[in-house]
Amino acid sequence: MEDSRIALPIGTALDRFIKSRQTAFPFATGELSQLLRDIALSGKVVNREINRAGLINLAGAAGSENSTGEQQQNLDVLANIRFSRSLEKGGEVCAIVSEEEDEIIEVNRNAHYVVAIDPLDGSSNIDVNVSIGTLFSIYRRVSPEGGPISMDDVLQPGKDQVAAGYILYGSSTMLVFTTGRGVNGFTYDPSLGEYFLSHQNMQIPKDGSIYSINEGSYHSFSQGVKDFVEDCREKGYTGRYIGSLVADFHRNLLKGGIYVYPSISKSPNGKLRLMYECNTLAMLAEEAGGMATDGTNRILDIVPSDIHQQVPFFVGSKHMVERARELIEDAKMVRSSQ
């Protein structure tokens, strides 16, 4: 077994990377390694289907709604099937929480891990050939294996994640993940059918100059969020909003920036889901030296009360997230003194 502290070279295959890091995983039994491999493999299958979607009539709406009442797309449904089937068959998972399912899916009672997943995020971009992504969070169950799954197994705060990551289906397909010892990115080589280490120990710049927010909702932002957007504009920052969380986050991770989905009138708690969108990226952001809050509180400290809970989300470069929090606090003080 290789020493997990030695950085592996660019070009290392994912499988070799996972194997060499296995001793550094919490509760190293090889199960978490296998779980990561299962997710990576399903990502290859989904990647293939996304690439062919226009040709095999997979684009478009499925005519059904997801857990939050949004229109499901054919590829949303398909990706959900691909990931849940492989997690079920893999045997390492006792429960799955998916954006596409109303209820918790109970799988193997003897398994140790709980997975929260958004199988395909960025629905509005699926049909128009714009980057989309898969997000996943992995927890260790707290109840004894063999027994029924309890809500305590599932509703764990993000700080208890043992691994988190995403697959970005972009101009190239990438798997980016952390097991709590730094963030590493792997680029998929479709000609070889393998992911290779391309981004070692990723660090998000502490300062950034990109802000990603849907400014079309500006009029329903709180005063603090409006002040923050104004601050970014005055500083001449660049506005970049793809509308695909994974893609917006990934760009900001590499270049420095902030992604914000605040509370707005039609979604008072924000739109994004704590368990399989915000916690996932919050763990990656913190592992890369960044920060994630709901405008006030650290995302990873929030104990979910519902599997599909939504929270306002501010994630990215540390100093930008701090600046947003400062302006939100200032606006609250002004309001309370009036």
Interface of this chain with Mg ion, residues 33 to 62, rule: CB under 5 A? none
270 binds ligand AHM (CB under 6 A): no
Rule CB under 6 A: choose which of 12, 42, 123, 280 binds ligand AHM.
123
118 binds Mg ion (CB under 5 A): yes
- Which residue, 220, 269, 197, is CA-closest to 14? 197
312 binds ligand AHM (CB under 6 A): no
Strand (E) or helix (H) holding 230: helix 223-234
Q: How far apart are CA 207 and CA 222, in angstroms?
A: 24
- Which residue, 259, 247, 240, 278, is CA-closest to 320? 259
Q: How far apart are CA 33 and CA 18, in angstroms?
A: 6
Binding residues for Mg ion, total number by CB under 5 A: 2
Pattern 229-268, ligand AHM, x by CB under 6 A: --------------xxx-----------------------
At a CB cut-off of 8 Å and minimum separation 6, what does 325 contact?
293, 295, 296, 314
Q: How far apart are CA 126 and CA 73, in angstroms?
A: 8
Measured from the CB atom, the residue of 14 and 275 that comes closer to ligand AHM is 275
Count Cβ neighbours within 10 Å for each residue of 306-333 and write b for 16 or more, e otherwise. Answer: ebbbbbbbbbbbbbbbebbbebbeebee
287 binds Mg ion (CB under 5 A): no
Tokens coding 256 = 């420095």
Interface of this chain with ligand AHM, residues 21 to 80, rule: CB under 6 A? 70
**What are 105's strand-pairing partners?**
96
Rule CB under 5 A: choose which of 121, 153, 248, 287 binds Mg ion.
121
What, of ligand AHM, Mg ion, none, does residue 92 touch, CB below 5 to 8 Å by kind? none
What's the min distance (Å) between Cβ of 118 and Mg ion?
A: 4
Rule CB under 6 A: choose which of 214, 222, 223, 269 binds ligand AHM.
214
What's the min distance (Å) between Cβ of 43 and Mg ion?
A: 16
Task: Name the residues that contact ligand AHM, by CB under 6 A.
Answer: 70, 99, 118, 121-124, 214, 243-245, 271
Task: Name the residues that contact Mg ion, by CB under 5 A.
Answer: 118, 121
